[in-house]
Each structure stands twice: as structure tokens, then as C-alpha cells.
A and B are shown apart, each in its own frame.
Chain A
Amino acid sequence: MASVSVEAVRKTYGALEVIHGIDIAIPDGEFVVLVGPSGCGKSTLLRMIAGLEAISAGTIRIGDTVVNEIPPKDRDIAMVFQNYALYPHMTVRENMGFSLKLRKAEQAVINERVQKAAQILGLTPLLDRYPKQLSGGQRQRVAMGRAIVRNPQVFLFDEPLSNLDAKLRVQMRTEIKALHQQLKTTSIYVTHDQIEAMTMADRIVVMHDGIVEQIGTPLELYDNPANLFVAGFIGSPAINLIRGVLRRSGNRNWVATEAGIDLPLGEVTAGRDGQEVVYGIRPEHLTPSNGSGLPVKVEVVEPTGANTFVYAELSGAQICGVFSERQGFTPGSMLHLLPQLDRVHLFDAETGQRLVA
């Protein structure tokens, strides 16, 4: 096991720069998730750590070694690919033992390691099958087994669950997390799915357009998003964001929207009177109330069983609420919503940065 550090790393393709100087320090044994929308550079960064892409500038260290010029096979890493990349003409046993065979390990050692990995992953009865004879989840497990037999310093995962169906994805998510708790190998996991990131990560790195927007534990990102992008990306259904002007008068603070609605704020708040801001409140931090609160018109009601999602209109803006009580919400009816004041986020409308009191 080893720490990984990424220092001022850039990637350019000709004149086009896709990664604009990234710094991430990953301590030994941590499970870090790189998350962001398509094209944000997260996979490229992972492939640079793996050694499959050249590093244009900056330094990547694994343990104490600078690996910039070291070929992938000598970096002591293992990678799990999105489409498994199993070798189709080899059995599960051969697939898992391939890297050891190339390293000229003794057959007895190979057998022992493959057996052990197969046992951890529950693949023992499938060792003599070919990839085409396996289900999607089993193939994914073989891909992980291939990584485990190497006993590497670092595991790299490139969207390993994107090809599985929803139910299997949830199951494999838990399996990978349990596996990490068992092996405690430093892991870097790339995904575009924020739920995967939230549930699996020790720490999340949110990337956007080749830069790091924020690094933190899942709950830090959820409770204190550094900017509008992170606020909008983390959380499902997405946070409600409403533009307005900050008003401060004595003890009372509020945000006035263009449509003439006053959004309530707590007594202590950041920002100055008259500043253009974006008011953010997560759907789960709205409570239905009688009479007081924001008047909204219910448009769509989505019962999920545990929760009810209510999409409503607040003077032209759409607002979403998530409620655990089963109230009889009917489309077209009026409803009052009360934001929990200590859960309101304020962002500068121009820079998108969070305003801190």
C-alpha cells in the first residue's frame, strides 16, 4: 500500500489543454472518488496515474517514487476497466493469473494467489469458464480478481459499474466498498454518478472542465458546497437554486427575487445588502406548513414509497421538495413550504462561490 500524490498535473493535446493543474494528496489506504460530468478530465487523470497517458506537466508520486517516467507495469498498480477488458480467449483462471505469468512467477504461486482471490470474490466455481459464459456481474468480479491477484500498491477503477443494470450496480457498489475495508488498499475510483461517489468514498474530488472544484468527505460536500457547481452536482434530486438580491435590514435578512418573493434567511448571514446572490435550499430541507412560508403551486407528484417528491412552481421558478410524510399532495393545489434556515446556502451570483458568514 502507498500514498498517491498528484502535484500541479497538466495534460495537453497539442495546443488544447484539458487538465489545468491539479493537486490531490491521497493518504495510504484511502478510497478516493473522482467525480464530475463527462469530459471533465477525470478518466484522463486516472489514465495518467496508471501510466497509460503521458503527463504533460507536474508530478505524480506513488509512495515516495516519482512515477512520471515509469512504465505502467512497474508502477505497482492494478486497474479495473469500464468494459472489463477481460481477455476473451482465456479462462477466468488464465485471465486472473496472466499478469503473474508475465512476471514469470512460479505456477504454484500463481495457483495459490488465483485461488485466494477467487475465494474472496466467490469465483471459485467459475475458474474454468470463459468470459462469454459469465453474467455481467461475474465478469466485473473477474476484472476485480485480476487486479487483486497482483496485490498492488494502488487500485484504479475507471467507471467499473457503468455497464451493469441498476440493481447489480447497487450490489457491486457495496461489494467493492466491503472489499476495500478488507484489503485496505489505496483506491482511486472514477465515476460520473454522484450517488456512487457519495456512498463509496472516504473523500470525493469533484472535477469540472479540467480543474478540481472541491475536495472533501461526502458529507462536507453535501453540507458545505464550495460553489454553485458542487452544490448542483451533489445531491439528488438537485438543490433548488433561485437568483435574487440580498437584503439586510436590522436583524432581518432575506433574498428578494425578481418575481417579488422574499426568501427567508437566518439572523446571521454573509454578504452585503444589495448583492446579487443565488439562494440554495435542498429539497429535503423544505417542510410543508400551514399558512406561513413560500406559496407554491404543485405541478408533479412522484411517490417513491419512502419519500414523496413534489415539483412545484414558485412564481415562475421550479422548486422541488422531498417529504417523508405521505400527505395528499394534488397537482394544481397550493402549498406553503418553509425552508430550514440553518440549511440555506448563499452563493455569489457572479463568481458562483459560497458566501461565508
Chain B
Amino acid sequence: MLTNSLMNWSGAAKIDGANSFRIIRLIHLPLMMPALMAIGAYALLLSADREITPAAALRLFLTTDDTPFNVLMATGAIYALPPAAVYYIFKRCMVRAHGGAVRS
């Protein structure tokens, strides 16, 4: 369905007078924005888990015999906030997808 639609859009844009570069910039890229946003958000959230040091540092608490659960949970909650914020911001972009211009 997606390739079919893209082909039709390309055909329509070609007849309308757009060259390949403009078809990508004016038609394909705007239509791909929601998908690009989604991929971007996933990439960011995944890297937040692995790479950002404060999150990784949480694991240090688990090494000692008497784990301070209250501290662990408090820090965890605070560090969970940025990814959550990112998630909710990007979600708005993702669901603002375009529909209805083609029927498959």
C-alpha cells in the first residue's frame, strides 16, 4: 500500500511538474516526518538507557549488600522524567500523521 501510494504521489507530482529532488523535498519528506519522528524518539530513548551515565550509575547501588531502596527509587524516578518527557513530546508529533488523501 505504501509503495503504491508513493508511486501515485510521485506520478501526480511528476505531472504537476516537480523534478525528483522536489518530489522528495516537497512530498516524500513531509509525509515521512511522523515515521522519522518515531525512529528518532526510539533512538533517543534507547541511548538514554545505555549511554547516559546517571542512569547507568543507578546500577552501582545494587552492588552493595544493604541496598538503599529508598534512595534507589527516588533517583530512579527523577531520572525517568527526561525520557518520559521526550516520549510525550514526540508522541504528539507521531500521531499528527496525515491520512485520507489516498484510499487503498
Contact = CB atoms under 8 A, between A and B. Distances in A.
Nearest to A75: B15
Given A81-B8, A81-B12, A102 B101 contact: no
Given A79-B12, A81-B8, A88-B101, A103 B30 contact: no
A50 B15 contact: yes
A136 B16 contact: no
A85 interface: yes
Contact of B14 (A52, A82, A98, A103): A52
Interface stretch (A14-22, A126-134, A175-183, A205-213): A126-134
A198 B12 CA distance: 27
A72 B15 CA distance: 5
B68 interface: no
B79 interface: no
A139 B11 contact: no
B82 interface: no
Contacts of B14: 51-52, 71-73
A146 B8 CA distance: 14
Contact of B8 (A77, A83, A132, A134): A83
B27 interface: yes
B31 interface: yes
Given A83-B102, A130-B100, A88 B15 contact: no
A81 B17 contact: no
Interface residues of B, number: 23
Given A87-B27, A88-B31, A102-B22, A132 B15 contact: no
B18 to A, nearest CB: 6
A62 interface: no
A85 B11 contact: yes
B31 to A, nearest CB: 6
Given A87-B27, A89-B31, A99-B17, A131 B100 contact: yes
Interface string B62-93: 00000000000000000000000000000000
Which of A47, A51, A85 has its CB near the most chain B CB atoms (within 10 A)? A85
Interface string A146-174: 10000000000000000100000000000
A279 interface: no
Nearest to A152: B15
Q: How large is the interface on A (under 10, 10 to 19, 20 to 34, 35 or more residues)?
A: 20 to 34
Contacts of B104: 83
A60 to B, nearest CB: 15
Contact of B5 (A52, A79, A83): A83
B99 A88 contact: yes
B15 to A, nearest CB: 5
A129 to B, nearest CB: 10
A102 B21 CA distance: 12
Contacts of B102: 83-86, 88
B103 interface: yes
A87 B98 CA distance: 9
A230 interface: no
Contacts of B103: 83-84, 136, 139, 163
B30 to A, nearest CB: 4
Contact of B17 (A84, A102, A134): A102
Contacts of B18: 73, 102
Contacts of A89: 30-31, 98
A296 interface: no
Contacts of A71: 14
Interface in A39-94: 47, 50-52, 71-73, 77-79, 81-89
Contacts of A47: 11
Interface of A: 47, 50-52, 71-73, 77-79, 81-89, 98-99, 102-103, 130-134, 136, 139, 146, 163
20 contacts: A52-B14, A52-B15, A72-B11, A77-B15, A83-B103, A83-B104, A84-B102, A85-B9, A85-B11, A86-B102, A87-B12, A87-B13, A88-B31, A88-B99, A89-B30, A102-B17, A102-B22, A131-B101, A132-B98, A132-B99
Interface of B: 4-5, 8-9, 11-18, 22, 27, 30-31, 98-104
